Structure 1
């Protein structure tokens, strides 16, 4: 356990599973008090127990403005500040061009872009000079992926937002960076393969074969990048997209 984030308050949206949960654990291990959000109370309670005494769970949906307002009101009343925001909540489903529907577009951009914008905007009154914002991007935002164009476009939008926000927040001394995971061994990735274990295992094996390192990444490996971007170890890193992808988008 390190002390690089002692005295800091962090928020991880979508912190009950996968990369979000791993990041919350790593931030807490670095000394931060970590708030996590999730839509289901049982999963939220389980995650808080896994993270330990530095964790606080707040049930809510980041696509709902009232839930965001309640979240930040609670953080304000309990801590008065927010030093680290990991805007991680989001997701997507696969659909080839001929099957894309209005609902598919709206749902994906609502979760990955609209909700992220207001998650960050509403956090700003709590964030002091020297605070750090980390956004979850994806290698899909930088390279083509069959049947994943809308998700890819939403993650490219996240990258574009970070580039502009560094200027908007320059005078406040708040850094904004993007962590871009490649194929990471999570339930969410497996579920893209369908409902059967055979199909899911097939997708994971295929994805691993595309990575130059020859394997999937682990959520903990992305989490360590998030903690780096959250801490003063990255004090001169701003507006960057840091890939944790085993090289898949690099070669």
Structure 2
């Protein structure tokens, strides 16, 4: 059995790879754009790694992963879709290419990769879709990103029911802000107050919690008391949560 991790070159993706390293997989397939980072990660692992450099926001990148999947005979024990992109800004002022890339990577690629991998899974296999606390509330100045994550949340809920008869689990991982380079990349020149990110959690903690929740067969994983409160507020008191978010931006 193999494991597949997208967005594996840094942040939570790399942490998921390290968490899988001691779980006895024959191989871990690491997928991301930056080949040099993937090679460094692979060299640090005990489990053999298959390095697949691919820009999953493009058709060519998805096709390269699909070609690798179709070239061998193996079972997939776990798929972790960690690749993602976010950009701050008033929705119409975010560069068009960035908007398209968010939709292509966060929605299209995640869906396509999941569907490609399911035929290689068996009872007991698992799918981890990295979502976001932003999936629970439409967010001004993070509009398209939060909308793409709302899709992921909805997709997970239905996919879980579809796969239940096959014994394949689906875990939605919805952290708040995580202390990775994603924060700096999401700002990308936008004026975003530091207080927006003050309740960030460590990638190691998010992954540790997620792996525990995956082992327990849970539906979703939210790391940290503040983030759990945030998801509760977004679900049950959305107008209050929206007000708090708006105030944090000003």
TM over 0.5: yes
Report the Cα offset of residue 97 of structure 1: 3.9
Unaligned runs of 5+ in 1: 1-7
- In the alignment, is residue 107 of structure 1 matched against residue 122 of structure 2? no
Give the secondary structure class of the aligned counterpart of 2:87.
coil
Q: Secondary structure at 1:223's aligned position in 2?
A: helix
- 1:205-244 per-residue CA deviation (whole Å, 9 max, x = no partner) reads 5421xx3xxxx211111111332244xx323x2xx23212
Count of residues in correspondence between the two structures: 229
2:50 alignment partner in structure 1:
56
2:242 maps to 1:242: no
Q: How far has the Cα of 1:144 moved from its partner? A: 4.7
- The one of 150, 162, 176 aligned to 1:156: 150
Question: Which residue is 2:184 aligned to?
Answer: 190
Query: 2:205 matched to which residue of 1?
Result: 221
**Counterpart of 2:210 in 1: which secondary structure?**
helix
After superposition, the CA RMSD in angstroms is: 2.6
8 A contact 1:132–1:229 mirrored in 2 = no
- Cα 1:46–1:75 change in 2 (3 A) is same
1:24 lines up with 2:17 in the alignment:
yes
> Structure 2 vs 1, CA of residues 83 and 76 (structure 1 numbering), >3 Å: closer, same or farther?
farther
Distance in 1 of aligned mates of 2:76 and 2:122: 7
* 191 and 108 in structure 1: CA distance in 2 versus 1, 3 angstrom threshold: closer
Contact 1:76–1:126 (CA under 8 A) maintained in structure 2: no
Q: Which residue of 1 aligns with 2:197?
A: 207
SS at match of 1:165: helix
Q: Secondary structure at the match of 1:29?
A: coil
Instruction: Supply the distance in 2 between the matched residues of 1:194 and 1:67 (Cα, whole angstroms).
Output: 24
CA displacement at 1:185 relative to structure 2: 0.7
Structure 2 vs 1, CA of residues 242 and 75 (structure 1 numbering), >3 Å: closer, same or farther?
Answer: same
Query: Does the aligned pair in 1 maintain the 2:88–2:188 contact within 8 Å?
Result: no
Q: Which of the numbers 140, 155, 158 marks the counterpart of 2:134? A: 140
* 2: CA distance, partners of 1:67 / 1:193: 25
1:100-122 C-alpha deviation (Å, 9 max, x unpaired): 56544322111100111101001
Which runs of 5 or more structure 2 residues have no equivalent in the other structure? 234-250
TM norm structure 2: 0.80
- TM-score for both structures, normalised by structure 1: 0.80
Aligned mates of 1:194, 1:68 — CA distance in 2 = 25
Residue 171 (1) aligns with residue 165 (2): yes
